[in-house]
């Protein structure tokens, strides 16, 4: 069986993209990146893709009259590349319900909180303001409501007494870099199915990998 082909959509520095590129460099990793799309020209992540000789496209949202025209251009580019799974990795545009429906269960996102807590922006500052003790990240299938959808992988990290939003973000980001390649691997290996709006992950490997994520530094 061939490797699952991914399109990765970014808007910025692309450290999660880089984590996926690094994972896919292993010969036994079951997915490969066929296309990287940025809605921002000059996004740092485009350099990671170029270095790995992955085709890139810049599709600037400002070049289109409305969201659905932009999403149609995205859809055309992804469709032409023949990818199996679309991965949002710091892609800071809300996708239209039509796009989300078209890629139903073939569209995943990484979000820097333990959903369903802290949907939206400024997750780390809000978590610190609430005094939570545990933070983390979530990889989930995308649904029309922002930052909702069946959860595939979560990784937790401690919140430490002297954290500010940047320090906490860095600790969560390290967890993201493990969680996203794991979630894509689980999907590519056919271990993820959706039942009653929840993602069910099969297989013994899951238990160990999940436990390891609780200590992303270790």
Site residues (CB under 6 A) for ligand GAR?
10, 12-16, 45, 89-90, 110-112, 173, 176
Q: Which residues contact 154 (CB under 8 A, 6 or more apart)?
A: 114, 115, 136, 137, 138, 139, 179, 213
Of 10 and 186, which CB lies nearer to ligand GAR in the complex structure? 10
Do you know the residue count of the chain?
Answer: 218
Minimal distance in Å, beta carbon 138 to ligand GAR?
Answer: 9
Identify which of 213, 193, 209 has the alpha carbon closest to the alpha carbon of residue 201.
193
Minimal distance in Å, beta carbon 192 to ligand GAR?
Answer: 19
Containing H/E element for 5?
A: strand 4-10
Of 172 and 186, which CB lies nearer to ligand GAR in the complex structure? 172
**Catalytic residue from among 48, 61, 104, 111:** 111
**Distance between CA atoms of 63 and 74, rounded to whole angstroms?**
12
Minimal distance in Å, beta carbon 165 to ligand GAR?
Answer: 12
Minimal distance in Å, beta carbon 24 to ligand GAR?
Answer: 15
**Distance between CA atoms of 118 and 61, rounded to whole angstroms?**
26
C-beta of residue 141 within 8 angstroms of C-beta of residue 150: yes
111 part of the active site: yes
Of 115 and 187, which CB lies nearer to ligand GAR in the complex structure? 115
Of 70 and 91, which CB lies nearer to ligand GAR in the complex structure? 91
- Virtual torsion, Cα 81, 84, 87, 92, nearest 10 deg: 50
Any idea which residues carry the catalytic annotation?
111
């Amino acid at each position: 069986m061939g490797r699952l082909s991914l399109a990765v959509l970014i808007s910025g520095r692309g450290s999660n993209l880089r984590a996926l590129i690094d994972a896919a460099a292993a010969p036994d990793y079951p997915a490969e990146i066929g296309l990287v799309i940025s809605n921002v020209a000059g996004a740092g992540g485009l350099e990671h893709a170029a270095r790995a000789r992955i085709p890139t496209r810049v599709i600037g949202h400002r070049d289109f009259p409305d969201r659905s025209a932009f999403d149609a251009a995205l859809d055309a580019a992804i469709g032409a590349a023949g990818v199996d799974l679309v991965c949002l990795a710091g892609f800071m545009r809300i996708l239209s319900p039509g796009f989300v429906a078209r890629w139903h269960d073939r569209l995943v996102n990484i979000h820097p909180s333990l959903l369903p807590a802290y949907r939206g922006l400024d997750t780390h500052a809000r978590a610190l303001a609430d005094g939570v003790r545990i933070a983390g990240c979530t990889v989930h299938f995308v649904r029309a409501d922002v930052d909702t959808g069946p959860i595939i992988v979560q990784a937790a990290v401690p919140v430490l007494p002297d954290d500010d939003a940047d320090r906490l973000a860095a600790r969560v980001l390290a967890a993201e870099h493990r969680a996203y390649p794991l979630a894509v691997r689980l999907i590519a290996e056919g271990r993820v199915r959706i039942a009653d709006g929840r993602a069910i992950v099969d297989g013994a490997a899951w238990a160990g990998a999940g436990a390891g994520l609780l200590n992303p530094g270790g």
